[in-house]
Chain A
Amino acid sequence: MSLTNFLAGTAAGTTRRRMPIAAIVAGAVLLVLLITALFPGLLTSTDPLATATSESRQPPSLAHPFGTDTLGRDMFSRVVYGARLSLSFGITATLVAVLAGIVIGLLAGLAPRWVDNIVMRVLEIALAFPELLVALVVIALLGPGTVNVIIAITIAAVPVYARIVRVTTLQVKGSSFVEAATALGQRRALVILRHVLPNVLGPLLVLATVGIGTAIISGAGLSFLGLGPVSPTPEWGLLLSDGRSSLGTAWWIAVFPGIAITVTVIATTVFGRFLQRRFEGRRS
């Protein structure tokens, strides 16, 4: 299957559907963001931490496309360098949460009913609170800091993934092909590894793509509240918080990090939804 066919959601030889322009744009944006996070030096040569009091609060210009902040630091460079931390909040937290979700969900789905019941009640209690609130409680217990923010978002996101893994596990566990593998004499661990897990992963990865966006917002939110990294580290939430007080006089300090967050979240969501549609189309 060629890439265009894959994107258009069709197998080779069948009638072509409309190309998903939104998904392609979103994918391109994500690619640029990823490059930005990995090699910020490619996009800007200015040091994000270099202060220049003489150039304080400059509006956007050719020299400073996003303007400068109160200490005269180049906002463009700060937003570019901020991508790494902000994205890694989202990606690391989601990755760890997905892994934990797989373990917990599989255990709950395959374990005796009483274990399943206990795990599910705990997860349901966690799910009853908004993710950000759970994260705040975790921060309150662990104290602020970059690593703790990641831990907090991870813990807050686990229940969602664990639940979906459990439900798909139960579905797959009851399906005829798992029974057929058992009847064939396959070992239980291998049945799970070869037949249950891969079939659980599909829907989960789709959900995780959308989840990265949410996790980025949570991370930026916690930083905004001053619970994550501290100044002068460039991080979008923190930048937003720094610029908040001068929104009336120097709008660019807050607006550009805000746009960065918004664009990232929209791009992940659009791309995630696209994957979801592709995936569901393939299953039916």
Chain B
Amino acid sequence: MSGELLSVRGLSISFDGVEVVHGIDLGLAAGECLALVGESGSGKTVTSRAMLGQIPRPGLVSAAELVVDGVDARDLGERDWQRLRGSRVGLVSQDALVSLDPLRTIGREISEVLEVHAGRERGRLSRAELGRAVHDELVHVAVPRPELRARQYAHELSGGLRQRALVASATIAKPRLLIADEPTTALDLTVQAQVLELLARLKGEGTGVLLISHDLAVVARIADRVAVMRSGEIVEAGRTEAVLAAPKHEYTRALLAATPSLHRKGERLSALPPLRLGRGEPVDRDRVVLSATGIRQSFRQPDGSRLTAVDDVSLELKAGRTLGIVGESGSGKTTLGRVLLGLQRPDGGEVLLDGAPWSALPERDRRRRRGGIQAVYQDPLSSFDPRVKVGAILREALALSGVPGAERRGRAVELAGRVGLAEELLGRSPLALSGGQRQRVAIARALARSPRVLICDEPVSALDVSIQAQVLDLFADVQQQLGLAMVFISHDLGVVHHVSDEVLVMKDGVVVERGAADSLFTAPQHPYTQALLSAVPTPGASS
């Protein structure tokens, strides 16, 4: 394919003789946005790095054609690449906190790019000139109060501002091509929408944007064309609307199918058959298993003031139902989850489990009843002791449920099988498992205690869409067959809508809206809920 800014034919990249990317054709014109979409390990990032000459040793790049902004980039040396990077190709990466030097101010960070490139072309710029350029660029990327921000350090900025500062450092030398690698992945929904808007505006100004993303919904918002990657190859490419509306390749279809917001509530997301977990006791779906009244929790901040993380929150969870809690980072949803689990004693209010005191108990008494309420966390890996093997993780939980030592091994195998884990994985360290497998181990561990309530804190946020679909299906199986009540905490509205019967929307520690999932998502009352919903990118609704 050819394009004015980027023209790639037959690009292959190999490491130690293993081809990780094969036969890639791409083209990008000015004022256009091309999205490379794929799950982790699909080769999308390494492909984009080839356009920056940043393939680490011992990687080998070969291509029939690799033209970057008019320059044949196939045989460029490191010095030639340095001239190209920043001035003609800019890079915005995922995590602005690690991409920005913690010891330098934002202003210094941004001006360095200009210093390097302008210095090369027109001689040194004066301090005042640099300052003015940085100021203008910060204004350009819509950073409010640019004079102040330029003097601050990366950790003093919010995620959204930081990401915009990173964009500014990529665009200050006015490159015609911008590579954005998962630029919104770590951001809250409303902030994500702002960054996407910024990228769309840069595109409108004539910059060519190569967007790398795992998220079809994000892509749909700004990309003109999409290339779907899997295992180092492009399996489907075309105009965004066409690909999303009528995907030709089965993988694209599977990816789209795994997106919760494209499904009716409760429908299966993955192609995997339901697991047989065995029947739990029948549950009375009107019985309240977990309730909280007037929960209040504050923390002392380093400067001595108190931050109210959760402010007067009450909730009720009935047997076999799912309560979704939605909010952006800092909304207090995780703290609320910890209070419900009895890991944190609230400053005010009370939590009742099965109608009996829970949060007010001393830990010694609470411990006896902990089996009834279990948790699944966002990052399963860190919730496992790094020295312990999968089998031992499950056996510890079984031991706590009073399973005699001789039976534990067999029961662990059975438990693993129920959540779809092969027996041989029991001998492995969680480190050697994939993200989806780890989350299955975490679910198996929770189930080992035969809980009636499961608190899930962002359980699928770290997973690829197709894996997320499988794990969400597993949760559905668990709930339907064992009659578990779940509290499902997430920032992802699509996921929450899919799994929840009832939803709480939290902002700054306060519940701003609550209601049945369907009515809340179709007719949100509170302005914040409306803003959140309008910020949700949905595939198929292209700009």
Contact = CB atoms under 8 A, between A and B. Distances in A.
Contacts of A177: 382-386
Contacts of A180: 375, 377, 383-384
B33 interface: no
Contact of A184 (B363, B379, B387, B445): B445
Given A188-B363, A195-B385, A183 B379 contact: no
Interface in B325-343: 341-343
B396 A184 contact: yes
B343 A182 contact: yes
B76 interface: no
A255 B100 CA distance: 55
Interface string A175-200: 11101111111111000001100110
Interface string B171-186: 0000000000000000
A57 B351 CA distance: 85
A176 B382 contact: yes
B397 interface: yes
A188 B370 CA distance: 13
Contacts of B343: 179, 182-183
Contacts, number: 52
A198 B397 contact: no
B449 interface: yes
Nearest to B400: A185
A187 B367 contact: yes
Nearest to B375: A183
Contacts of B371: 185
Contacts of B383: 176-177, 179-180
Contacts of A194: 385, 396
B387 A198 contact: yes
Given A183-B343, A184-B396, A185-B400, A199 B367 contact: no
Nearest to A172: B385
Nearest to B371: A185
Nearest to A198: B387
Nearest to B431: A282
Nearest to A177: B385
Contacts of B374: 183-184
Contacts of A182: 343
A199 B386 CA distance: 8
A183 B370 contact: yes
A222 to B, nearest CB: 38
B382 A186 contact: no
B396 A186 contact: yes
A176 B396 contact: no
Contacts of B382: 175-177
Interface in B95-139: none
A112 B407 CA distance: 39
A13 to B, nearest CB: 12
13 contacts: A176-B377, A176-B383, A180-B384, A181-B385, A183-B341, A184-B374, A184-B445, A184-B449, A185-B368, A185-B449, A186-B367, A198-B387, A199-B385
Given A176-B377, A185-B370, A186-B367, 12 more contacts: A176-B382, A177-B385, A179-B343, A181-B385, A181-B396, A182-B343, A183-B342, A183-B343, A184-B449, A185-B400, A186-B400, A188-B363
Interface of A: 175-177, 179-188, 194-195, 198-199, 283
